[in-house]
Amino acid sequence: MERIQKVIANAGVTSRRKAEKLIEEGRVKVNGKTVRELGTKVSPHKDTVEVDGVPVDKEEPVYYLFYKPKQVISAVEDDKGRKVVTDFFEEVEQRIFPVGRLDYDTSGLLLLTNDGDFANLMMHPKNKINKTYIAKVEGKPDKEALKQLKSGVKIDGKKTAPAKVRIKSANRKTNSSIVELTIHEGRNQQVRKMFDAVGHPVKKLKREQYGYLTLGNLQPGEKRILKPVEVKKLKDSAVT
Protein backbone atom coordinates (compact mmCIF):
# COMPACT_ATOMS: atom_id res chain seq x y z
CA MET A 1 0.00 0.00 0.00
CA GLU A 2 1.29 3.44 -0.94
CA ARG A 3 0.11 6.99 -0.38
CA ILE A 4 -2.09 8.10 -3.24
CA GLN A 5 0.02 11.17 -4.05
CA LYS A 6 3.08 8.94 -4.45
CA VAL A 7 1.20 6.62 -6.82
CA ILE A 8 0.14 9.60 -8.95
CA ALA A 9 3.68 11.01 -9.01
CA ASN A 10 5.25 7.64 -9.83
CA ALA A 11 2.86 7.29 -12.77
CA GLY A 12 4.34 10.46 -14.24
CA VAL A 13 1.15 12.51 -14.02
CA THR A 14 2.76 15.33 -12.06
CA SER A 15 5.04 15.95 -9.09
CA ARG A 16 4.03 14.70 -5.64
CA ARG A 17 3.45 18.23 -4.37
CA LYS A 18 1.10 19.02 -7.24
CA ALA A 19 -0.58 15.65 -6.80
CA GLU A 20 -1.47 16.68 -3.27
CA LYS A 21 -3.12 19.81 -4.62
CA LEU A 22 -5.11 17.73 -7.13
CA ILE A 23 -6.36 15.55 -4.27
CA GLU A 24 -7.40 18.56 -2.19
CA GLU A 25 -9.26 19.98 -5.20
CA GLY A 26 -11.31 16.78 -5.50
CA ARG A 27 -9.86 15.84 -8.89
CA VAL A 28 -8.72 12.36 -7.83
CA LYS A 29 -10.85 9.22 -7.58
CA VAL A 30 -10.08 5.77 -6.20
CA ASN A 31 -12.31 2.98 -7.47
CA GLY A 32 -14.80 5.58 -8.67
CA LYS A 33 -14.99 7.56 -5.41
CA THR A 34 -13.53 11.04 -4.92
CA VAL A 35 -10.69 11.13 -2.38
CA ARG A 36 -9.60 14.31 -0.60
CA GLU A 37 -7.50 12.85 2.24
CA LEU A 38 -3.76 13.19 1.56
CA GLY A 39 -2.91 10.24 3.79
CA THR A 40 -5.09 7.81 1.84
CA LYS A 41 -3.23 4.63 0.90
CA VAL A 42 -3.98 2.52 -2.14
CA SER A 43 -2.65 -0.56 -3.86
CA PRO A 44 -1.14 0.44 -7.23
CA HIS A 45 -1.86 -3.04 -8.58
CA LYS A 46 -5.42 -3.52 -7.26
CA ASP A 47 -7.03 -0.09 -6.95
CA THR A 48 -8.07 2.09 -9.89
CA VAL A 49 -6.79 5.64 -9.46
CA GLU A 50 -8.08 8.40 -11.74
CA VAL A 51 -7.02 12.02 -12.17
CA ASP A 52 -9.63 14.20 -13.88
CA GLY A 53 -11.36 11.01 -15.01
CA VAL A 54 -8.24 9.55 -16.64
CA PRO A 55 -6.88 6.28 -15.18
CA VAL A 56 -3.36 6.44 -13.80
CA ASP A 57 -1.10 3.77 -15.23
CA LYS A 58 2.41 3.04 -14.11
CA GLU A 59 4.87 4.18 -16.79
CA GLU A 60 8.47 3.22 -17.33
CA PRO A 61 10.58 6.04 -15.89
CA VAL A 62 12.33 8.32 -18.38
CA TYR A 63 14.84 11.09 -17.76
CA TYR A 64 15.80 13.94 -20.08
CA LEU A 65 18.36 16.74 -20.07
CA PHE A 66 16.96 19.76 -21.90
CA TYR A 67 18.49 23.07 -23.00
CA LYS A 68 15.59 25.42 -22.23
CA PRO A 69 15.51 28.50 -24.46
CA LYS A 70 14.51 31.90 -23.12
CA GLN A 71 10.84 32.88 -23.14
CA VAL A 72 9.64 29.33 -22.48
CA ILE A 73 7.62 28.38 -19.38
CA SER A 74 8.95 25.59 -17.12
CA ALA A 75 5.59 23.82 -16.97
CA VAL A 76 3.44 21.30 -18.83
CA GLU A 77 0.80 23.91 -19.72
CA ASP A 78 0.23 27.66 -19.54
CA ASP A 79 -3.14 29.39 -19.19
CA LYS A 80 -1.84 32.33 -21.25
CA GLY A 81 -0.98 30.15 -24.22
CA ARG A 82 2.77 30.69 -24.01
CA LYS A 83 5.23 28.02 -25.13
CA VAL A 84 6.06 25.48 -22.40
CA VAL A 85 8.97 23.05 -22.10
CA THR A 86 6.87 19.99 -22.93
CA ASP A 87 6.11 21.51 -26.34
CA PHE A 88 9.63 20.34 -27.23
CA PHE A 89 8.76 16.74 -26.27
CA GLU A 90 5.65 16.10 -28.35
CA GLU A 91 7.02 12.77 -29.61
CA VAL A 92 7.52 11.51 -26.03
CA GLU A 93 4.64 9.25 -24.98
CA GLN A 94 5.29 9.41 -21.22
CA ARG A 95 3.73 12.20 -19.18
CA ILE A 96 6.89 14.06 -18.27
CA PHE A 97 7.25 17.25 -16.24
CA PRO A 98 10.14 19.58 -15.35
CA VAL A 99 12.25 18.99 -12.26
CA GLY A 100 12.01 22.39 -10.63
CA ARG A 101 11.95 25.39 -12.93
CA LEU A 102 13.90 28.03 -14.78
CA ASP A 103 12.40 31.50 -15.09
CA TYR A 104 10.72 32.59 -18.32
CA ASP A 105 13.71 34.72 -19.37
CA THR A 106 16.36 32.30 -18.10
CA SER A 107 17.87 29.72 -20.41
CA GLY A 108 19.89 26.60 -19.73
CA LEU A 109 19.92 23.13 -18.27
CA LEU A 110 16.62 21.67 -17.10
CA LEU A 111 15.75 18.08 -16.25
CA LEU A 112 12.42 16.50 -17.18
CA THR A 113 11.06 13.14 -16.05
CA ASN A 114 7.96 11.15 -15.22
CA ASP A 115 9.56 9.83 -12.02
CA GLY A 116 8.06 11.70 -9.07
CA ASP A 117 10.44 10.19 -6.51
CA PHE A 118 13.45 11.25 -8.57
CA ALA A 119 12.07 14.78 -8.95
CA ASN A 120 11.48 15.10 -5.19
CA LEU A 121 14.98 13.78 -4.50
CA MET A 122 16.52 16.37 -6.82
CA MET A 123 14.49 19.28 -5.46
CA HIS A 124 14.58 18.59 -1.72
CA PRO A 125 16.63 21.35 -0.02
CA LYS A 126 18.46 18.94 2.30
CA ASN A 127 20.13 17.20 -0.65
CA LYS A 128 22.01 20.38 -1.66
CA ILE A 129 22.54 19.65 -5.34
CA ASN A 130 24.66 22.41 -6.85
CA LYS A 131 23.39 24.48 -9.78
CA THR A 132 25.81 26.74 -11.64
CA TYR A 133 24.64 29.87 -13.45
CA ILE A 134 26.37 32.32 -15.78
CA ALA A 135 24.98 35.83 -15.34
CA LYS A 136 25.58 39.00 -17.30
CA VAL A 137 25.10 41.76 -14.76
CA GLU A 138 25.18 45.54 -14.72
CA GLY A 139 28.48 46.97 -13.51
CA LYS A 140 31.28 45.01 -11.88
CA PRO A 141 30.71 43.57 -8.38
CA ASP A 142 33.45 44.71 -5.99
CA LYS A 143 35.04 42.63 -3.25
CA GLU A 144 32.32 43.53 -0.76
CA ALA A 145 29.53 42.50 -3.15
CA LEU A 146 31.26 39.19 -3.88
CA LYS A 147 31.74 38.62 -0.16
CA GLN A 148 28.01 39.18 0.45
CA LEU A 149 27.05 36.75 -2.29
CA LYS A 150 29.43 34.13 -0.92
CA SER A 151 28.21 34.43 2.66
CA GLY A 152 24.53 34.89 1.80
CA VAL A 153 22.23 37.85 1.18
CA LYS A 154 18.72 38.46 2.46
CA ILE A 155 15.98 38.04 -0.16
CA ASP A 156 12.27 37.86 0.60
CA GLY A 157 13.10 38.21 4.29
CA LYS A 158 15.37 35.16 4.44
CA LYS A 159 19.12 34.85 4.04
CA THR A 160 20.43 32.67 1.22
CA ALA A 161 22.83 29.82 1.84
CA PRO A 162 26.54 30.39 1.12
CA ALA A 163 27.38 30.42 -2.60
CA LYS A 164 30.41 30.13 -4.82
CA VAL A 165 31.00 33.14 -7.04
CA ARG A 166 33.67 34.47 -9.38
CA ILE A 167 33.93 37.15 -12.02
CA LYS A 168 34.77 35.66 -15.42
CA SER A 169 35.12 38.94 -17.33
CA ALA A 170 34.21 42.61 -17.25
CA ASN A 171 33.49 45.13 -20.02
CA ARG A 172 33.95 48.82 -19.29
CA LYS A 173 32.33 49.93 -22.55
CA THR A 174 29.04 48.19 -21.79
CA ASN A 175 29.43 48.59 -18.02
CA SER A 176 28.71 44.92 -17.47
CA SER A 177 30.33 41.75 -16.15
CA ILE A 178 30.03 38.02 -16.65
CA VAL A 179 29.74 36.29 -13.28
CA GLU A 180 29.60 32.57 -12.42
CA LEU A 181 27.43 31.71 -9.40
CA THR A 182 26.89 28.28 -7.85
CA ILE A 183 24.05 27.67 -5.38
CA HIS A 184 22.23 24.60 -4.08
CA GLU A 185 18.93 26.28 -3.22
CA GLY A 186 16.07 26.75 -5.68
CA ARG A 187 14.03 29.68 -4.44
CA ASN A 188 11.88 31.72 -6.83
CA GLN A 189 14.08 33.92 -9.07
CA GLN A 190 16.84 33.45 -6.50
CA VAL A 191 19.84 34.31 -8.67
CA ARG A 192 18.27 37.49 -10.01
CA LYS A 193 17.23 38.57 -6.52
CA MET A 194 20.70 37.86 -5.12
CA PHE A 195 22.35 40.13 -7.67
CA ASP A 196 19.64 42.77 -7.13
CA ALA A 197 20.46 42.66 -3.42
CA VAL A 198 24.09 43.65 -4.06
CA GLY A 199 23.22 46.33 -6.64
CA HIS A 200 24.05 44.50 -9.87
CA PRO A 201 20.83 43.59 -11.72
CA VAL A 202 20.94 40.63 -14.09
CA LYS A 203 20.72 41.42 -17.80
CA LYS A 204 21.02 37.83 -19.03
CA LEU A 205 21.00 34.49 -17.20
CA LYS A 206 21.81 30.90 -18.12
CA ARG A 207 22.07 27.71 -16.05
CA GLU A 208 25.11 25.80 -17.27
CA GLN A 209 25.38 22.95 -14.79
CA TYR A 210 23.10 20.80 -12.63
CA GLY A 211 24.99 18.57 -10.21
CA TYR A 212 27.74 17.11 -12.38
CA LEU A 213 25.69 17.42 -15.61
CA THR A 214 26.49 20.08 -18.22
CA LEU A 215 24.82 21.15 -21.45
CA GLY A 216 27.68 19.73 -23.52
CA ASN A 217 27.09 20.43 -27.22
CA LEU A 218 23.32 20.93 -26.94
CA GLN A 219 21.79 24.01 -28.51
CA PRO A 220 18.69 25.85 -27.18
CA GLY A 221 15.62 23.66 -27.67
CA GLU A 222 17.63 20.44 -27.93
CA LYS A 223 17.49 17.50 -25.52
CA ARG A 224 18.98 14.10 -24.79
CA ILE A 225 18.02 11.06 -22.75
CA LEU A 226 20.01 10.59 -19.56
CA LYS A 227 21.94 7.33 -19.38
CA PRO A 228 21.08 4.97 -16.48
CA VAL A 229 24.55 5.55 -15.00
CA GLU A 230 23.92 9.32 -15.05
CA VAL A 231 20.60 8.93 -13.26
CA LYS A 232 22.23 6.67 -10.66
CA LYS A 233 25.03 9.17 -10.11
CA LEU A 234 22.52 11.97 -9.56
CA LYS A 235 20.56 9.87 -7.08
CA ASP A 236 23.73 8.85 -5.24
CA SER A 237 24.90 12.46 -4.99
CA ALA A 238 21.54 13.47 -3.51
CA VAL A 239 21.63 10.98 -0.66
CA THR A 240 25.27 11.31 0.41
What span, in angstroms and rounded, lies between the C-alpha atoms of 220 and 108? 8
**Is 79 among the catalytic positions?**
no
- Given a contact cutoff of 8 angstroms between Cβ atoms, the answer to whether 55 and 48 are in contact is yes
- Given a contact cutoff of 8 angstroms between Cβ atoms, the answer to whether 61 and 115 are in contact is yes
Which one of the listed residues 47, 78, 87, 103 is annotated catalytic? 103
| Alpha-carbon separation of residue 112 from 3, 59, 77, 160, 175 (angstroms) | 23, 14, 14, 26, 36
Active site residues: 103
